[in-house]
Amino acid sequence: MTATTQAKYKNQARIIKALAHPTRLFIVDELSRGERCVCELTDMIGVEMPTVSRHLGVLKGAGILETEKRGLQVFYRLRVPCVLNFFKCVEAVQRDDGKPARRTAAPKMGCAL
Amino acid sequence: MTATTQAKYKNQARIIKALAHPTRLFIVDELSRGERCVCELTDMIGVEMPTVSRHLGVLKGAGILETEKRGLQVFYRLRVPCVLNFFKCVEAVQRDDGKPARRTAAPKMGCAL
DNA sequence: ACAGTATTTAGCATATATGCTAAATACTAG
DNA sequence: CTAGTATTTAGCATATATGCTAAATACTGT
């Protein structure tokens, strides 16, 4: 594998890794219904605000979320809604889990992501 | 967040986490072109075979790959090709990275994953 | 059975991730 | 300016992930 190829996968992994946490998946799912401030998310999730803030920072750092500050509050929203498609595919993995190789369809190239 | 909801996201995170590594992304990408044995993948990737075997185990454990043993070799293949769509979305994140909020389209419900 | 090849498992050292509390920063209202 | 609220950053302890080498397992051919 060339250095360029390696860099490509490393960069992709960085983004997918940002999604690879239950709390961050919850946040993405919740933000699919509209922007939320940190305090709102903190109320929904069962962890301290600094922890939520850090998770939000990870997602923002990966380019998945964007923020807007209004007054005291910081509102987060999805910048790349296609990540929601991940959920569907993940459910497909789960449905197939352990069963005799019923596979999902190959990706359609014309599918708008 | 209820215990059930938490379990749901934890389970999804488990699957996404399995993809969140450069080597494992390379493997998924390579297997999209057909099944490969461990030795073939090891030749392509610049790490030791035990390391490759472990990465393959992670992906298989998550339900993303399946195996077939033929003779001395173990062949791995994609069980859930929809994971390939992840790549497209990840590229969308990268294209937008740092730029002034050009967002991807929201997911189409009719899109076959 | 024996030797050789392909793969996996074990065990270890190191790196990264997670969640907490305490403290710092940013803003608003009086 | 001061007090109070919302958010982020720092620092720490613990957990998980990674890659290696060595050893174990699985299979083939003689």
pLDDT at A91 over 60: yes
ipTM: 0.87
Domain of B26? 3-96
**pLDDT for the residue B91:** 86
Q: Which residue has the tokens 């946040």?
A: A27
* CATH number of the domain where residue B20 is located: 1.10.10.10
CB contact under 8 A, B63 and A26: no
Query: pLDDT tens digits for A69-87?
Result: 999 999 999 999 888 888 8
Distance CA A60, CA A43 (A): 20
- pLDDT band at residue A100, thresholds of 50, 70 and 90? very low
Amino acid residing at A50: P
**Domain count within chain B:** 1
As given in the structure block, the two tokens for residue A46 are 């069962």
In a domain, B112, yes or no: no
In a domain, A107, yes or no: no
Query: pLDDT tens digits for B1-10?
Result: 888 889 999 9
Query: pLDDT tens digits for B32-46?
Result: 999 999 999 999 999
Cβ neighbours of B13 in A, within 8 Å: 20-22, 24-25
**pLDDT for the residue A1:** 84
- Is residue A104 within 8 Å of residue B63, measured between CB atoms? no
**pLDDT for the residue A104:** 60
Distance CA A17, CA A25 (A): 11
- Tell which wins on pLDDT, A23 or A106: A23
In a domain, A8, yes or no: yes
In a domain, B108, yes or no: no
Structural element, H or E, at residue A83 = none
In a domain, A54, yes or no: yes
Question: Whole-number mean pLDDT of chain B?
Answer: 87
Distance CA A16, CA A21 (A): 10
CA torsion A74-A81-A27-B79 (nearest 10°) is: -160
In a domain, B101, yes or no: no
In a domain, A112, yes or no: no
Query: pLDDT tens digits for B23-32?
Result: 999 999 999 9
Interface of A with B in 27-86 (CB under 8 A): 29, 44-46, 62-64, 66, 78-86
Structural element, H or E, at residue A75 = strand A73-78
Phi, psi (deg, nearest 5) at residue A72? -80, -20
In a domain, A81, yes or no: yes
